[in-house]
């Protein structure tokens, strides 16, 4: 390559690597953070975790006791001589009985189904708000005063019924207890802009990455195998960067958001579950990058690669259908084994299939050029022939 072409090729390669990182983050946000069903599924996983469920139970219990004056209720029911113990009993109820009852309530299959459906509806409402659409009737989400608020009071009411204090909720002096502010008015506009950008770029970025890698390899005339190997290495690099960012940012975010030590581990579990797709993307990039590196080595001039190509030459020449069927079987096994196997997107599968087919065909042609069919054996001649 000339110097100018080399600069162009490596510039395209560097841009593709950067866009691959950005594209991976947008795919994660779109598939997990902006997808109603994915959010509902992750909420079910959160409720199945003992520590996270305990933290949610404590939140519900705190919301209930914030709306009911338990100490006053105890003073009314206790005899005069025992009324001095009302504060101690109220604290015991709030710290032990309430969370335990809420935890048992959250373990019931019917309540877990209600929890998943409520999260799905709430998430859909939040997305409508972020997309700037009309919210419509929704009992869990409010946008009053420019704030997106999640209302947990229905769950608190169910807990109050279980504890037998439902009739005392109306006397509560703080009607906002049990409401969580998800997003403030000054954050809403920025979030809406971010969602629009994510939805617009998630697919376009992936196509741009593939096009830039392909263009860089095409322009690297005479050094295409080097660029192909560099592409595999860049996929592995981006995958490792994503895995490192997930681990590092998780600790930073938990430390920034949670000041109480007891809640840090449940929030870490939440971060781990809500970034599971990001972890899968990192694994996919590392695996696919390693396969590209393996294919590059297989097409190289080293002795093991030449021996393998010599061994494959008869199959490529006489049994091409068997080779393609074997490659298809391996491709299907890779799809079934790989992370997010149940969440494959058609575009990604088609791109992967096309790339694999091109690589196999290139290897076949190279092998047949290197090892053409042997010429027929020479016919024996008479002893007197010269």
* Rounded Cα gap, residues 326 and 140, in angstroms: 53
* Rounded Cα gap, residues 167 and 137, in angstroms: 27
Residue 382: per-residue pLDDT: 44
* Rounded Cα gap, residues 60 and 153, in angstroms: 9
* Rounded Cα gap, residues 155 and 63, in angstroms: 10
In sequence order, the 6+-apart residues with CB closer than 8 A to the CB of 69 are 168, 171
Output the tens digit of pLDDT for each of the chain's 386 residues. 688 888 999 999 999 999 999 888 888 888 777 777 777 777 777 777 777 777 777 777 777 666 666 666 666 666 666 656 666 666 666 666 667 777 777 777 777 777 777 777 767 777 776 666 655 555 555 555 555 566 666 666 666 666 565 555 555 445 555 556 555 555 556 666 777 777 677 668 888 888 899 899 888 887 888 888 899 899 999 999 999 988 888 878 777 766 667 667 777 877 888 888 888 889 888 988 888 898 888 888 888 888 888 888 888 888 888 888 988 888 888 777 765 444 556 666 777 788 788 888 888 888 888 888 754 554 444 444 44
The length of the chain, given as a count of residues: 386
Q: In this structure, how many other beta carbons lie within 10 angstroms of the beta carbon of residue 68?
A: 24
Q: In this structure, how many other beta carbons lie within 10 angstroms of the beta carbon of residue 12?
A: 21
Largest distance between two CA atoms of the chain: 135
Residue with tokens 């409508």: 128
Residue closest to 163 by CA, chosen among 104, 88, 76 = 104
Residue 150: per-residue pLDDT: 61
The model's pTM: 0.69
- 9 φ, ψ (degrees, to nearest 5): -60, -50
């Amino acid at each position: 390559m000339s110097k100018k072409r080399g600069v162009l090729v490596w510039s395209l390669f560097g841009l593709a690597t950067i866009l691959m990182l950005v594209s991976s983050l947008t795919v994660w946000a779109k598939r997990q953070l902006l997808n109603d069903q994915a959010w509902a599924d992750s909420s079910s996983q959160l409720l199945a975790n003992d520590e996270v469920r305990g933290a949610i139970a404590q939140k519900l219990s705190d919301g209930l006791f914030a709306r009911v004056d338990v100490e006053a209720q105890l003073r009314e029911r206790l005899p005069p001589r025992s009324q001095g113990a009302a504060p101690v009993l109220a604290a015991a109820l709030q710290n032990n009985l309430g969370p335990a009852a809420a935890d048992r309530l959250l373990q019931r299959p019917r309540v877990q189904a209600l929890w998943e459906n409520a999260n799905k509806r709430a998430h859909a409402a939040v997305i409508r708000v972020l997309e700037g659409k009309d919210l419509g009737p929704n009992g869990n989400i409010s946008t009053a005063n420019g704030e997106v608020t999640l209302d947990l009071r229905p769950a608190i009411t169910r807990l109050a019924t279980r504890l037998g204090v439902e009739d005392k909720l109306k006397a509560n002096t703080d009607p906002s207890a049990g409401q969580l502010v998800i997003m403030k008015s000054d954050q809403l506009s920025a979030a809406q802009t971010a969602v629009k950008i994510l939805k617009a770029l998630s697919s376009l970025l992936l196509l741009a990455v593939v096009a830039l890698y392909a263009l860089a390899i095409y322009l690297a005339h005479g050094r295409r195998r080097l660029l192909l190997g560099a592409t595999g290495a860049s996929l592995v690099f981006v995958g490792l960067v994503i895995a490192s960012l997930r681990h590092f940012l998780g600790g930073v975010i938990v430390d920034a958001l949670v000041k109480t030590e007891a809640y840090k581990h449940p929030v870490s579990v939440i971060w781990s579950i809500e970034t599971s797709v990001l972890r899968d993307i990192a694994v996919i990039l590392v695996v696919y990058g390693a396969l590209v590196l393996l294919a590059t080595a297989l097409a190289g001039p080293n002795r093991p690669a030449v021996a393998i190509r010599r061994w494959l030459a008869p199959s490529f020449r006489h049994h091409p259908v068997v080779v393609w069927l074997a490659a298809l079987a391996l491709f299907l096994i890779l799809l079934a084994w790989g992370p997010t196997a149940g969440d494959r997107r058609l575009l990604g599968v088609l791109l992967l299939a096309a790339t694999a087919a091109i690589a196999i065909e290139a290897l076949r042609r190279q092998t047949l050029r290197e090892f053409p069919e042997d010429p027929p054996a020479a016919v024996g001649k008479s002893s007197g022939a010269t």
